[in-house]
């Protein structure tokens, strides 16, 4: 467990160093709940792995990034390869090596997950749910906090896939099977118990696709947006799945995708009225206007 916490802290340190806000060693140590001396040891480790650690005149440390990429909290292909090679060469016989490499994959561009996985408690829940998805096993979601009923309950669940950024898990609530799929919020799950029982109902459920805004609905709409830099940065930070759907350069980004008309989409558009221009469809303008009138 101590080794796992160390790996998670290193992952989080990289995220902090690649963020917009630069921090001193004391600030980083406080956030990560480690000593200042340990923070410096982590700097050395990251440099050995190939990261460039820079410091400004105010003794604030950071990993230099290209313009716009400072909001990206995942590893790129080159960073992932460097860490994988180092782990394999230095820890080939360590029984946690494969465990760490799986975590690394989950934090790479091939499986972006954002800050949720950096929470150690959520990381354990996601690992167990991932195993259950892969092996098609049932799980028991312990002490799930329901906002609707304001109660904590245990649920037998058949997980199928995760939502964008791993904030939720989609699957079948066995108690209500074989109805449609359901999403459980990762943060509201107390903990996950793996059950040695195979899926019974999941194969009967057709899971609707999740769009770039982490939403599933009835009808997908092809949209095109022009984004300025601030809107672009916020979009890829909160909805990293969207980055693969964006082309262009600073202040001239174009987002093209098929999405559902959802509250997440509307709130994003409302938050950046001067940073986002709707190119098409005209129906999105109408839907957005109707949504704003509900406030």
Q: Token digits for 53?
A: 């650690």
What is the structure's pLDDT at 112?
Answer: 41
Task: Supply the mean pLDDT for the chain.
Answer: 77
Answer whether residue 222 shows pLDDT above 50.
yes
Answer whether residue 89 shows pLDDT above 60.
no
The CA–CA distances, whole Å, from 286 to 209, 289, 290 equal 24, 5, 6
Average pLDDT estimate for 209-215? 79
The CA–CA distances, whole Å, from 276 to 169, 258, 292 equal 30, 17, 16
Residue 27: name the closest of 41, 16, 11, 43 by CA: 16
Residue 157: name the closest of 216, 97, 197, 187 by CA: 197
pTM (two decimals): 0.41
Answer whether residue 139 shows pLDDT above 80.
yes
Name the CATH topology of 221-292. Answer: Alpha-Beta Plaits (3.30.70)
Domain covering 2-118 assigned CATH 2.40.50 in the classification: no
Distance CA(91)–CA(87), nearest Å, equals 5
- pLDDT band (50, 70, 90) for residue 114: very low
> Would you list the domain boundaries of the chain?
2-118, 123-204, 221-292
Answer whether residue 181 shows pLDDT above 50.
yes
Q: Per residue in 20-65, pLDDT tens?
A: 788 899 999 998 888 988 888 888 888 776 677 888 888 888 887 6
- pLDDT band (50, 70, 90) for residue 285: very high
Answer whether residue 292 shows pLDDT above 50.
yes
- pLDDT band (50, 70, 90) for residue 88: low
Name which CATH class applies to 123-204: mainly beta
């Amino acid at each position: 467990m101590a080794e796992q916490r160390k790996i998670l802290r290193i992952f989080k340190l990289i995220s902090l160093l690649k963020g917009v806000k630069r921090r001193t060693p004391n600030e980083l140590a406080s956030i990560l709940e480690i000593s200042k001396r340990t923070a410096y040891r982590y700097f050395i480790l990251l440099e050995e792995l190939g990261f460039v650690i820079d410091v400004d005149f105010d003794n604030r440390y950071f990993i230099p990034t290209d313009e716009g990429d400072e909001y990206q909290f995942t590893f790129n292909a080159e960073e992932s390869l460097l860490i994988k090679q180092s782990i394999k060469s230095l820890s080939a016989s360590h029984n946690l090596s494969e465990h760490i490499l799986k975590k690394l994959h989950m934090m790479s561009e091939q499986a972006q997950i954002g800050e949720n996985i950096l929470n150690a408690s959520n990381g354990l829940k996601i690992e167990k749910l991932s195993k259950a998805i892969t092996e098609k096993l049932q799980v028991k979601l312990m002490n799930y906090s329901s906002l609707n009923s304001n109660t904590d309950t245990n649920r037998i669940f058949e997980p199928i896939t995760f939502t964008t950024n791993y904030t939720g898990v989609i699957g079948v609530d066995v108690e209500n099977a074989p109805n449609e799929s359901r999403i459980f919020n990762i943060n509201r799950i107390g903990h996950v118990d793996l059950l040695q029982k195979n899926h019974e109902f999941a194969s009967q459920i057709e899971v609707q696709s999740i769009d770039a805004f982490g939403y599933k609905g009835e009808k997908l709409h092809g949209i095109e947006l022009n984004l300025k830099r601030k809107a672009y940065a916020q979009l890829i930070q909160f909805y990293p799945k969207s980055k693969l759907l964006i082309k262009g350069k600073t202040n001239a980004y174009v987002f093209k995708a098929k999405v559902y008309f959802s509250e997440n989409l509307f709130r994003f558009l409302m938050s950046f009225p001067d940073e986002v221009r709707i190119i098409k469809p005209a129906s999105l303008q109408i839907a957005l206007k109707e949504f704003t009138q509900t406030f």
